[in-house]
């Protein structure tokens, strides 16, 4: 299934743009698909099969942590947004 994956600036350098299309039936498979095309992608967002604590992934504006985490199913036309948390400031 074709899914649009939107990424923030830190990941845009890896994929060459603000969004890419990936194939898979779950969020985890989408990450695997991206990792096969962009070596090292998955380690930026997951570790040992678990989503990194500081990374938020949304499926159509729903946080996957409140769905089925990396096992969350996706379908054609879905949008997956990957947002590493930001910290700091004044």
- β-sheet bridge partners, residue 26: 73
Instruction: For residues 41 and 24, give the distance between their C-alpha atoms in angstroms, rounded to a whole number.
Output: 15
The reported pTM is 0.90
Instruction: For residues 9 and 16, give the distance between their C-alpha atoms in angstroms, rounded to a whole number.
Output: 10
Distances (CA, A) of 29 to 14, 23, 36, 62: 18, 7, 10, 18
Task: Say which CATH architecture domain 2-84 belongs to.
Answer: Roll (3.10)
- pLDDT, one tens digit per residue, over 8-62 is 988 999 999 999 999 999 999 999 999 999 999 999 999 888 898 889 999 999 9
């Amino acid at each position: 299934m074709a899914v649009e994956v939107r990424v923030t600036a830190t990941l845009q350098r890896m994929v060459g743009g603000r969004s890419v299309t990936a194939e898979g039936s779950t969020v985890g498979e989408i990450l695997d698909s991206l990792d096969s095309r962009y070596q090292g992608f998955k380690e930026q967002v997951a570790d040992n099969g678990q989503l990194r604590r500081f990374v938020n992934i949304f499926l159509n504006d729903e946080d996957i942590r409140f769905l089925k985490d990396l096992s969350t199913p996706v379908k054609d036309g879905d949008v997956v947004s990957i947002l590493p948390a930001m910290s700091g400031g004044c």
